[in-house]
Amino acid sequence: MYLIVWFSLLLGSAVPLASAEIVYSHNFQDVLPHPHTAAGLSDFAHFSLVQPSYLHSRTKRQISSTKLNQDSTEHINHLAVKYSINNTLYILDLILNRDLLPASYFEKHQQDGAYVIRNRTNAKDIELCHYKGVLRDVPGSWAAISTCDNNLRGVIYDGSELNYIEPLLTNQSTTIRHPNVSLSNPADSNGLSQHILYKHSDFVSHDKYQCGYKSAHDKLRTKRDTLTRHDTIRGPWNANIKSRYLELVLVVDNKLYNLFRKSTKDVYTHCKDIVNVINALYEKLNIFVALVGVVIWTETDEIPFNTNGDLTLNNFLTYRRERLVREHPNDNAQLLTGMTFQDGVVGKALKGPICTYEFSGGVNVDHNSAVGLVATTVAHEMGHNLGMEHDTSSGQTPECKCPSDRCIMSPSSSSISPTEWSSCSQEYLALAFDHGMDYCMRNKPKALFDGPVCGNGFVEDGEECDCGLESSCNNKCCNATTCMLHENATCATGSCCNFQTCSPHPAGRACRTADRECDLSEYCTGDSGVLSG
C-alpha cells in the first residue's frame, strides 16, 4: 500500500524570527513537541509553518494515518510524501526502515526503585513508524522521517542542504501570530497538526556548539600521509562486500526525561527518531545502525554528572563496562543528557575503541528540537569511536577533501549542514577496519520486523535482487518493483557481475586482490555475480 503526503506551505516565504511576533495562549512546554523547541526556534533565523495532509495515492482521498488500520501498530511499507515550497513540487519516496530495531530490542526504565524491562520479541508489541528514502529525481538526496502519532519528524536532504521538520503541537484554542499571517485553530479537520520547517542555512547558533574531543592530528598525520602515499586505501565497502552492522544502546538521563514531561513513550520515540537519522548518515559508509535498546533513568541517574564533559564521559564508560554491557550486550552506547557542558561542548568520546567493552561509548547533549542536529552530534561522537579524527576547521586541505565546506567530523557546527564524510574520515575508518577493529560489527542482527521487503536494498528470501527504491535504482539488471531479474539478466549484484551485460564475469577474474601478506585474493567463478574466496 502506498500513501502520498501533501504539505501546503502556510507562509509564502520564511519569516525572520527576529521580526516575527509569536503569541501562544499556552506555555511553550504545553504546545511544542520537544522540550527544546523554544530554544530551537531561536537557533534559526527563519522558519516556516506547514500544514500536512495525507492523501491516498490511488483514490486521492484524505487519509488520517499511515497505519494499516486504526487499531493496528503496523504501518505501510512504502510511503510517498508530496509537498510544495515556493511553488516547487517535491515528492519523497520512502520505505519503512524495518532493520532499525533488531529482534533483541528492549525498553528499560526505573519504577519504584527497580527496573521495568520490556523485551519486544513480537513485532506487534511495538510501533515502527520510521522511514528512509530519497527525493524523487534529485541526485544525492536522502530522507529519514517518522510518522508516529500522525506527526512528521526528521530530516530531508535536498541535494544541497538539510531541512528539518517537526510538529507544532497546539490545541484548537491556540492562536499563532506572525506579521504576515495569523493562524487560528491549527489542527485541521483530519487531526493533523501544523509543522515547523527549518533550513539548515538559517541555523545561526553554530558558534556555540562544538565537540570536546582533543584532536591528535599532529601525532597521526605522518602515519596517515605515509599510508596515503604508499597504499591506495579503498574504503571497507569496496575492499569487502560485507556490510558492517553496529548494535547501539541509547541511555537517557533523568534531566532529559523530565524535560520530556516524564513521558517514557515520547522518549522511546525520540531515540528511534535519532537513530533513524544516524542510519541515513552511516549508510554512505555501508554501516547500518540497529537500536538494540533504550535505558531511561526515570527516577535517579546511575552516574555522577559534571559540567566537565571528560568527567561525565569517564563515569558513563565505567557504567557501561560494569553494568550496561553485561546486562545488555552492545557494540556501542551513547548517553543523551539534558544538562549543559562547559564551553559549548555538546559531545565527548574517545577515539578508536568501537568493539571494546571498556571505552566504546560517548556522551551527547540533546541540545535542539531539530532531530537532525542531535543525530549529527551522536553520529560525530560515534565516528570518534570508529577511529576518526576531527577534520580541519575549514574541512579542506590538500590531504583531506570534503564534498562540501564542512563534513560530519568537523570540530564545530556551522551554517553548512554536515551530511558527508571527508576523505580523511574514510581513510581513518579503512585503517581501523584493516586492523580488525570492526570484529563486533560483522554479524547482521535479526530484524524484529522480519520478512522480505522489496526496495530496502537487501536481497532477502524470495528476491533475486534489490536495488533500493524505484526512483533511485540505477541497476538496469534488476526490476526495482518486483526485486526480480530483468528478462535475459543472469545477475544483478556482486563484484563478479558485469552490470553492462547483466551476466557474470569470466571465471578466474580477480574481483579483489590481496591487501596484505596474510590476505588472499578472491576470484570469480564464472557462474555467479557473487565472488568466492
Catalytic site positions? 381
Q: Are 414 and 406 in contact (CB under 8 A)?
A: yes
Say if residue 187 is exposed, middle or buried (CB neighbours under 10 Å; 0-12, 13-18, 19+).
Answer: middle
User: Could you tell me the sign of the dihedral formed by the alpha carbons of 382, 355, 313, 305, in that order?
Assistant: positive
Our measurement of the distance from residue 428's CA atom to the centroid of its chain's CA atoms, rounded to an integer in Å, reads 21
Our measurement of the distance from residue 521's CA atom to the centroid of its chain's CA atoms, rounded to an integer in Å, reads 34
Helix, strand, coil % (nearest 5) of the chain?
A: 25, 25, 50
Any binding-site annotation on 380?
yes
3-state secondary structure of 327: helix
Decide the pairing of beta strands 244-252 and 287-296: parallel
Spatial separation of the C-alpha atoms in residues 280 and 450, rounded to whole Å: 20
| Residue with cell string 532529559 | 256
Say if residue 527 is exposed, middle or buried (CB neighbours under 10 Å; 0-12, 13-18, 19+).
Answer: exposed
Return the C-alpha cell found at 155: 530530516
Q: Are 246 and 441 in contact (CB under 8 A)?
A: yes
Q: Which of 368, 367, 350, 370 is nearest to 359 (CA)?
A: 350
Q: How far apart are the first and last CA of the chain?
A: 41
DSSP annotation of 323? I
Q: Give the orientation angle of helix 264-282 with respect to helix 371-385, to 10 degrees.
A: 60
C-beta neighbour count of 38 within 10 angstroms: 16
Spatial separation of the C-alpha atoms in residues 458 and 482, rounded to whole Å: 13
Q: Are 36 and 170 in contact (CB under 8 A)?
A: no
- The DSSP string of 239-308 is H-S--EEEEEEEEE-HHHHHHTTT-HHHHHHHHHHHHHHHHHHHGGGTEEEEEEEEEE-SS--SS---SS
C-beta neighbour count of 184 within 10 angstroms: 10
Binding residue ranges = 380, 384, 390
Binding residues for Zn(2+): 380, 384, 390
